[in-house]
Amino acid sequence: MSEKLILRALKGETLPVPPIWMMRQAGRYLPEYRATRAQAGDFLSLCYNPELAAEVTLQPIRRYGFDAAILFADILLLPQALGADLWFVTGEGPRLSTITTQAEFDALKPVEAVHDTLSPVYETIRILKRDLPTDTTLIGFAGAPWTVATYMVAGRGTKDQGPAHALKAENRPVFEAIIDRLTEGTIEYLSAQVEAGAEVVKLFDSWAGSLKGQDFDDFCLTPAKRIIAELKARHPGLPIIAFPREAGDRYIGFAKATGADCVALDNSVSAQWAAANVQVDGCVQGNLASSHMVTGGEALVRETREIVEAFSKGPHIFNLGHGITPDADPENVALMIETVRAAR
């Protein structure tokens, strides 16, 4: 078969060697990224410069030969396109103007506005479609509504997503309106990414683990189901990866409940548990601890082999359980890839 390896895994094929890519594979751990970032001037300028954003997306492909490239962008570009102010504080991360009242919500732009602001992102994808190796899959992405909402409500990242939890308890109609607007905007944004050339899209719900009970259903599962259904209606056959990070037992049945083709797993669950409880429904992605990219050594090799073996009886895409960190050693990434491809 000539089809790309990741597309085959996403269709449910068990491959002798799992395809591999890495969350945040274009990033600060690479010296070539840091040079391009300096050329851009600041993070947002890099995101909105199609030539430079394409360049940093291509860098890990040239260096390592990953089976997929993931678009270089940021999950907070969408709320910016909807009218929130966005800036980045060096050494601290993103800041946004907050949305906590009906009046602030009413001041947001309609979902159609996303295309004007985000047109440079679509141009980045068109460049990548032209310049990527023919056997490399191009992945588009967006943040899931709950995760993006936590930033919009707090104005920044928080350890416990407390401000978002407080708003949904104190003014649920406003919070639900934010989720709905983000759901609609995410559909438009990802659909446009596919039209520009993305072959797969991934929905990152990085803070899904702080939702419990009915809230998990209402604010993680239901929006994902709606986004996936609409995208598949518009783009039949589109493979979609969902990542409800730290969902724990709620990983079980998540693919069936949402329509996702693959569930990405964090490293708080074991590969053996996930093989028995999640992979039974289809493709899984993950889930080596990103700390191994810092520490390397025999522990990296051993755990990489264990993950490959645990998932060897079903469709699997090898990845980390979270994004690679800026202090990672590029040589450890090479060791991980070598170990995966020699494991079977």
41-63, pLDDT tens digit by residue? 999 999 999 999 999 999 999 99
Q: How many CB atoms lie within 10 A of CB 1?
A: 7
Give the pLDDT confidence score for residue 133 in this predicted structure: 97
The catalytic residue among 29, 33, 37, 189 is 37
Say which residues have a Cβ less than 8 Å from residue 68's Cβ, sequence separation at least 6: 6, 19, 21, 136, 137, 138, 139, 200
| Annotation says 24 is catalytic | yes
| Annotation says 261 is catalytic | no
Q: What is the mean pLDDT of residues 167-183?
A: 98
Q: Is the pLDDT of residue 2 over 80?
A: no
Please tell me whether the peptide bond between 287 and the residue prior to it is cis, using omega within 30 degrees of 0: yes
The catalytic residue among 48, 151, 189, 251 is 151
Give the pLDDT confidence score for residue 91 in this predicted structure: 81
The catalytic residue among 24, 226, 245, 250 is 24
Give the pLDDT confidence score for residue 1 in this predicted structure: 47
227-285, pLDDT tens digit by residue? 999 999 999 999 999 999 999 999 999 999 999 999 999 999 999 999 999 999 999 99
Q: What is the mean pLDDT of residues 160-188?
A: 98
* Domain extent at residue 205: 5-342
Give the pLDDT confidence score for residue 344 in this predicted structure: 61
69-123, pLDDT tens digit by residue? 999 999 999 999 999 999 998 888 899 999 999 999 999 999 998 999 999 999 9
Percentage of the chain with pLDDT > 90?
97
CATH number at residue 148: 3.20.20.210
The catalytic residue among 8, 34, 63, 74 is 74
Domain count, the chain: 1
Say which residues have a Cβ less than 8 Å from residue 222's Cβ, sequence separation at least 6: none
Q: 169 with 175: CB under 8 angstroms?
A: no
Q: Is the pLDDT of residue 343 over 80?
A: no
Q: What is the mean pLDDT of residues 202-227?
A: 98
Give the pLDDT confidence score for residue 275 in this predicted structure: 98
| Annotation says 74 is catalytic | yes
Q: Is the pLDDT of residue 34 over 60?
A: yes
Give the pLDDT confidence score for residue 179 in this predicted structure: 98
The catalytic residue among 28, 34, 156, 305 is 28
Residues facing residue 87 across a β-bridge: 95
CA dihedral sign of residues 101, 106, 107, 113: positive
Q: How far is CA 20 from the centre of its chain?
A: 15
| Annotation says 151 is catalytic | yes
CA distance 32 to 26: 9
